[in-house]
Amino acid sequence: MKDTLLVVDDMEINRDILENIFSDSYKIIKAENGIEAVAMLKKHKDNICALLLDIFMPEMDGFGVLEFMHEANLNKIIPTVLITGDTSNEVKQKGYSMGVSDVIEKPFDSQIVKTRINNIVELYLHKNGLEDLVLEQTRKIMLQAEKIRKTNRNLWDTLGAIVEFRNHESGMHIYRVREFTRVLLSTVAANYSEYGLTDELIDAMAFASVMHDVGKISISDTILLKPGRLTDEEFEIMKTHTTKGSEIIDAVCNTDDELYFKYGREIARSHHERYDGRGYPDGLKGDDIPIAAQIVSIADVYDALVSRRVYKPPFTPSEAFRMICNGECGQFNPKIVDCLRLARPKFEELAERLK
């Protein structure tokens, strides 16, 4: 509770007069020079509602106190009123430039002083109260946003795990793809600033990557689990998992969490596009393919190569790396392939650790 008035004046009679004026409204603490004032500000800053400050004092003058308050950011929470016998514009202008709320000239009328100080105190208390309210509301909004983000992450992990269960996989595929994606995103961010990959975007894209195959929920088991090569007709049906995935995300994801929604939809729809325009479903080419989808595409292919599938045994990490770099798995963005080369040790460590 801010209920204390600090009175600073080298003349005892002035301190006593001001104490007498305000003692019925505030607790009064007094200092006879700037050094004492600074010590009291440090000790009582949480309780001081206003500072009544003389200018010309021994040891440290009023302007020295104002400099301390500015450095300590106390001028933002404690209003200061200069009470001075110097009526020059120079003194007033300097005081206002240093953040004082008012300048009252000596000799002063006690009723006028009391009214002006009370008004300033009420104004600051109201202002600080509004700032506290804004901070509290901001905190609540951030907590709510984090709650939404956590809910969406859990939902997406669950949907991704359902897809893996239908694939007769352990569920580790989506988590490996997420970690491969995060490593590759970080490497691209460090080497190609033109993609604007901040830490926030990397985190959002990595978590959104778990939704890359969510559209496979709509594919029948006879096609999804077929051990041999798909017929042309079956492959056309399998390709629809990209558009179905984006539709599922549109239907079930909370749009208040814009980043995850945006990247999840882009990744689900476009992770089978190819840099030369020969991918699906939209035949996008080059950087018309969203960067998140480009990176998840490589992460997904790498993990598919090093993992056992119903239709093939696993390749070694070195074989998988060679196949991607040589274009045996389709054409990828050369910049991202360069980053894959840089990230190769981390990819191989993750592949071993997350078997």
Is 84 a member of any domain?
yes
Q: Are residues 162 and 283 in the same domain?
A: yes
For 90, the domain range is 4-108
pLDDT top residue among 257 and 85: 85
**How far apart, in Å, are the Cα atoms of 92 and each of 60, 83, 112, 220?**
18, 10, 18, 82
The DSSP annotation for 310-337 comes to TTBPPPPHHHHHHHHHTTBTB---HHHH
Report the range of poorest mean pLDDT among 46-55, 113-122, 308-317.
308-317
DSSP 279: -
**What pLDDT, on the 0 to 100 scale, is given for residue 349?**
92
Q: Are residues 193 and 252 in the same domain?
A: yes
Is 281 a member of any domain?
yes
Q: Residue 118 is which amino acid?
A: N
Q: Which of 2, 30, 216, 244 is catalytic?
A: 216
β-partners of residue 309 are 312
Is 131 a member of any domain?
no
**What pLDDT, on the 0 to 100 scale, is given for residue 130?**
58
Rounded CA separation 202/272 (Å):
20
Q: Are residues 344 and 224 in the same domain?
A: yes
Is 114 a member of any domain?
no
Q: How many CB atoms lie within 10 A of CB 262?
A: 17
State how many domains the chain has.
Answer: 2
Q: HSE-up of 131 (CA within 13 Å, CB side)? A: 8
Rounded CA separation 310/225 (Å):
7
Q: Are residues 279 and 326 in the same domain?
A: yes
Rounded CA separation 253/302 (Å):
28
Q: What percent of the chain has pLDDT over 90?
A: 48
Tell me: pLDDT of 21 over 80: yes
Mean pLDDT of 311-339: 91
Strands (E), the chain: 4-8, 27-31, 48-53, 80-84, 102-105
pLDDT digits (tens, 9 = 90+) for 184-230: 999 999 999 999 999 999 999 998 898 898 888 888 888 887 877 88
Q: Are residues 193 and 340 in the same domain?
A: yes
**What pLDDT, on the 0 to 100 scale, is given for residue 114?**
87
Q: Are residues 64 and 149 in the same domain?
A: no
Domain boundary, last residue among 57, 89, 108? 108
**What pLDDT, on the 0 to 100 scale, is given for residue 196?**
95
Q: Are residues 147 and 38 in the same domain?
A: no
Rounded CA separation 102/81 (Å):
5
Q: Are residues 83 and 154 in the same domain?
A: no
**Catalytic site includes residue 140:** no
pLDDT digits (tens, 9 = 90+) for 99-118: 898 888 888 788 888 888 88
Helix axes 110-166, 12-22, angle to 10 degrees: 70
pLDDT digits (tens, 9 = 90+) for 47-76: 898 899 999 898 899 999 999 999 998 988
Report the range of poorest mean pLDDT among 189-193, 194-198, 295-299, 351-355.
351-355
Q: Are residues 86 and 165 in the same domain?
A: no
Judged by DSSP in three states, 343 sits in helix
Q: Are residues 97 and 237 in the same domain?
A: no
Q: Residue 184 is which amino acid?
A: L
pLDDT digits (tens, 9 = 90+) for 243-274: 998 988 887 765 555 777 889 899 999 999 99
CATH number (domain holding residue 309): 1.10.3210.10
Is 40 a member of any domain?
yes
**What pLDDT, on the 0 to 100 scale, is given for residue 140?**
65
CATH number (domain holding residue 93): 3.40.50.2300
Mean pLDDT of 121-127: 76
pTM above 0.85, yes or no: no
Is 132 a member of any domain?
no
Mean pLDDT of 287-291: 97
311 backbone φψ class: left, alpha, beta (φ>0; ψ -120 to 50):
alpha
Q: What percent of the chain has pLDDT over 70?
A: 86
**What pLDDT, on the 0 to 100 scale, is given for residue 68?**
94
Q: How many CB atoms lie within 10 A of CB 317?
A: 18
